[in-house]
Structure 1
Amino acid sequence: MTDARPETLTPQPLTPTGHMRAIAVLGLPLILSHVAQFSISLTDALMLGWYDVTALAAQVLAGMVFFVLFLFGSGFAWAVMPMVAEAESAGQSPQVRRVTRMAMWLSILFGALSMPLMIWSEPVLLALGQTEEIAREASRYLIVAGWGIFPALLVMVLKSYLAALERTQVVLWVTIGAVVVNVIVNYALIFGNWGAPELGIVGAAWASVSVHFVSLLLLAIYAAVVTREHALFIRFWRPDWEAFGQVFRLGWPIGITTLAEVGLFAAASIMMGWLGTLPLAAHGIALQIASLVFMIHLGLGNVATVRAGRALGVQDWGGLRLGARVVVMLSLGLAALTAVLFVVMPEVLMGLFLSPDEPDRATVIAIGIVLLAAAALFQLADAAQVMALSLLRGVQDTRVPMIIATLSYWAVGMPVAYVMGFVFGWGGVGVWLGLAVGLAGAGLFMMLRFWAVILPRLTAQTRAAS
């Protein structure tokens, strides 16, 4: 399990072919690792859907609570990617160690702050209008699965560190191994196979915790052995307050931005819960399918962040501009293809998550078909916003994108979702159309910021300095 270290830190030739080659080499393992990472929650949904629809609905809510907190805390991990990429391309190896180590500190602190919200989640979910059964089952899941936030956040830091160093193969293989572990433990503990106790939704929680700890162990061993020149874990307890502040200042806006987006989808899940258990289950399945496709764009976004960070380190604005065009067009093309897939075969996609013997199977699929049609509408918008956001992060512009995201998702997307879903009476499809409006607004204004503000500013600064 080794990666070939890039032989040179010089920019790729300024041709579309050169950028496509670089995107493929760096991006394919990242895309596959994101798909594999998401497959962990996907297999939870698949296996719980075959176990019990109520358990699936509860896991949708519980998983969303964990996911919201996890992604909020991942802002410090994502800050590592552009900072390490810039430092490595500029030949500042000590800075690589400093920011990565302090990102781990910040992640541990955030995990400790988030634990009470998961341990005492039941009254919160009841206050948000969920049924007693769903809130109780979701809380049972979070009491166990919540402890996985510590290793999960540390894994994100190490993944960002390794991706910025363009060591993506190890990230892929560790993530694939995690999927295998999750399936095995789920099969044993959800259904009570191989002599294990039948724990249902709690079994899925134990599987998730196991996966996070195994992933952390493997990546930590790799980092300690293969990238020993950075000495990440030597005198780990020693603070570096300057680097701590650097990571915090770049990371907290990323965390808020991510919280705004994932919070939009969490709020959509809560509103779907108001419509009943079956609409919530259909929403959960449709969201799993749409999110799986989103992992492709997220992987391409990571490529954009790393390459933009390296361009920042050597001030290669021509390469940044052309590389950004190539990766954005690639993401939008893939979004168009997946939109067609959602419209052409929604029954097949929805049916994968439900047992043939499930009495409510036909109802859940019928609801889900309409939701996937709405999801097809926001594929291009979702791709645009994640690519623009990733490029802006690569050049360490995070605060204005945070404001754009918060306003687009919560001042526009959420009110539209509520009005369409409940005032107009469109139900679940109205909620999902609101999501599309929020994503479209974020994509439009972030793209304008990158192309019309940030790139011209960087170019002008370089010319003035010369």
Structure 2
Amino acid sequence: MTGSHHLAAELGETLKLAVPIALTQLGQIAMMTTDIALIGRFGSEAVAAASLAHTVYFVSFTFGMGLVSAVAPLAAQAFGARNPHGIRRSLRVGLWAALFIALPMMALSFRGEQILLMLGQSPVAANLAQQYLLGLTWSILPALWFLAIRGFMSAVNRPEPILWITLAAIPANALLVYLLLYGAFGLPNLGLFGAGLATSIVNFGTLLAALWFVARRRPFRKFHALGHVWRVDWGLMRQLVVIGAPISISFLLEYGLFGAAGLLMGVISMTALAAHQIALQVAAILFMVPFGISIAATVRVGHAISRRDASGVRRAGLVATWLGIAIGAALTLAVILSRFGIATIFLGESTDATAELSATLLLVGSTFFVADAIQTIAAGSLRGMNDTRLPLVFATISYWLIGFPSAWWLAFHTPLGAVGVWIGLSVGTAVYATLLLLRFRFLARKLVFQ
């Protein structure tokens, strides 16, 4: 088979994995976007409070997400080596890791109001954010278990059931959020607490559906992944922590930067914070596509590693990266052209300062959308090789020694204000993407199997 045929075959296999995973990610972010859009009818103050709540939630949630994401490379390498016992061990240990980490994360979110007040946020916004968190925090454990199952299904080349479950959850979430947020059809009007509680209920439902697929449907049931699930595999748990802990900390550094950016916006003004949340939500939607590709890259690289196929490793990373660049560029152009219409989705037919600033931030944010796609795909390729420690160092340098100082200085020591925060985010992301690409190229070129 020629080199071009190898690349075409790799592209086909990557797309088979990436498309359902990316659509799943878009479906999950659609549920969050639905929350924000419905909350937005309460006004900019409610949107700002939801932004603060998501900041607290995701800064705590991402540590568990990083640990659980190690299920995918472990299971993928076991699948490539035709080791079904290793596949089911990977899922089981991911479920246990999620349980161990969920409780302290929930405790952090339940103290969200105090945390936000200590960080200088207004008492009104902090109180509203806590109301939302009181309902949303219960979704942490089912969401982590759902991620572990997604990693298992992706590793065995069957990510479609997770997509089907997510597609069914989108309208269910929208309806339940509406009912509990506004108190429709005789249900109590629970406000922001109701919106968060609705999302938690839907997350429990998606988990139950995923467990049914694992236990009852082919090809998953042949792995008997839930058999003896009460046994903790401490040996593999240590391996998962070695791989997953650096991913967790890298995620915390990345999401922490965006969370810190939200706090800077809160200091600037409530208008800046609301506009930042809208622009950040759009960026999160765009991020879901390359994030899906990155999971496919993790699986494809992991399969090639287990086959001891050095050229396959290089090919998997190259194809995933170029696919992400192409899609990221197209999505960026779409956002630039539609940025004014996007603001009205969240704020209605509004021409106030929040809408105008949202459109401006989306224009500035377009400078880092492609870089964001590159960094997540390169990181996914490196995870397929179990290389997670040096990327953690790169994240520290890029986000906190370069990105955050740039955002802070441009926001408060130049006339740029909120725009300066987003320029700083762009700079940090571009540096991180460059370092990760260079790291993957270095490891892939020196990879030789005896």
**TMscore range, shorter length:** over 0.9
Deviations 1:239-259 (A, max 9, x none): 211111111111111111111
- Percent of counterpart pairs with the same letter? 34
Distance across 2 between alignment mates of 1:65 and 1:16: 42
Distance 2:446 2:68 in 1: 27
Equivalent residue runs for 1:401-440 within 5 Å: 401-440=391-430
Which residue among 174, 181, 198 is the counterpart of 2:172?
181
Q: Deviations over 1:151-194 (max 9, x none)?
A: 11111101111111111110101111221221010111112211
Residues of 2 paired with 1:159 and 1:100: CA distance? Answer: 9
Alignment counterpart, residue 326 of structure 1, candidates 319, 330, 335: 319
**8 Å Cα contact 2:60/2:109 also seen in 1:** no
Opposite residue 308 of structure 1, the aligned amino acid is: V
Is the deviation greater in 411-420 or in 234-243? 234-243
User: 41, 49, 54: which one pairs with 1:50?
Assistant: 41
Distance 1:381 1:33 in 2: 22
Alignment of 1:170-319 (within 5 A): 170-226=161-217, 227-319=220-312
Q: Which amino acid aligns with 2:312?
A: G
- Is the 1:56–1:281 contact (alpha carbons within 8 Å) kept by the matching residues of 2? yes
- The equivalent of 2:444 in structure 1 is 455
Q: Provide structure 2 residue ranges, at least 5 long, that are not aligned to the other structure.
A: none
Runs of 4 or more above 4 Å deviation: none
Counterpart of 1:381 in structure 2 is 371
**TM-score, normalization: structure 1?**
0.93
Contact 2:75 2:87 (C-alpha < 8 Å) held by counterparts: yes
Aligned residue for 1:37? 28
Q: Does the CA contact (< 8 Å) of 2:135 and 2:194 recur in 1?
A: no
Verify: 1:142 aligned to 2:133, yes or no. Answer: yes
Aligned equivalents of 1:426, 1:91: Cα separation in 2: 56
Query: Helix, strand or coil for the counterpart of 1:245?
Result: helix
- Checking the alignment, whether the CA contact within 8 Å between 1:382 and 1:439 is kept in structure 2 is yes
**Residues in 2 aligned to 1:220 and 1:195: alpha-carbon distance in whole angstroms:** 33
Work out whether residues 14 and 322 of structure 1, in 8 Å CA contact, stay in contact via their aligned partners in 2.
no
Q: Which residue of 2 aligns with 1:59?
A: 50
Point out the more displaced range, 289-298 or 186-195: 186-195
Q: CA deviation at 1:17?
A: 1.6
Deviation at 1:109, TM superposition (A): 0.9
Stretches of structure 1 that go unaligned for 5 or more consecutive residues are 1-11
1:228 deviates by: 2.3
2:433 to 423, 443, 446: 443
Q: Give the whole-Å Cα distance in 1 for the aligned partners of 2:211 and 2:324.
A: 31
Q: Letter of the aligned partner of 1:457 in structure 2?
A: K
Query: 1:344 Cα shift?
Result: 1.9
Matched, 1:95 2:99: no
Which shows bigger deviation, 316-325 or 414-423?
316-325
Among candidates 371, 377, 396, match of residue 361 of structure 2:
371
Using the TM superposition, give the Cα deviation of residue 347 of structure 1 relative to its aligned residue in structure 2, in angstroms.
Answer: 0.6
In the TM superposition, residue 70 of structure 1 has moved relative to its aligned partner by: 1.6
Q: How many residues align?
A: 446
Shift of 1:406: 1.6
Aligned to 1:22: 13
| Residue in structure 2 matched with residue 346 of structure 1 by the alignment | 339
Aligned-pair CA distance for 1:13: 9.0
Find the residue that maps to 1:51 and give its secondary structure: coil
Mapped to 2, the partners of 1:14 and 1:67 lie a distance apart of 41
What code does the residue aligned with 1:69 have?
S
**Superposition TM-score, scaled by structure 2 size:** 0.96
1:106 aligns with 2:97: yes
Alignment equivalent of 1:76, drawn from 59, 64, 67? 67
Q: Displacement, 1:338?
A: 2.2
Q: How big is the shift at 1:14?
A: 5.4
Structure 2 distance, partners of 1:146, 1:13, is 48
Quick one: distance in 1 between partners of 2:430 and 2:165?
Answer: 34
Task: State the Cα distance separating 1:264 from its structure 2 match.
Answer: 0.6
1:351-384 deviation digits (Å, cap 9, x = unpaired): 111133x6xx521111111101111111121111
1:397 matched to 2:390: no
CA distance in 2, matches of 1:369, 1:333: 23
- Residues in 2 aligned to 1:13 and 1:223: alpha-carbon distance in whole angstroms: 37
Instruction: Tell me, in whole angstroms, the C-alpha distance in 2 between the residues paired with 1:185 and 1:364.
Output: 28
Contact kept? 2:287, 2:373, Cα under 8 Å: yes
- In structure 1, distance between residues paired with 2:7 and 2:252: 34
Q: Which amino acid aligns with 1:115?
A: M
Asked if the contact 1:99/1:246 (under 8 Å) is kept, the reply is no
**Deviations 1:426-448 (Å, cap 9, x if unpaired)?**
11110000000110110001100
Give the superposition deviation at 1:16. Answer: 2.2
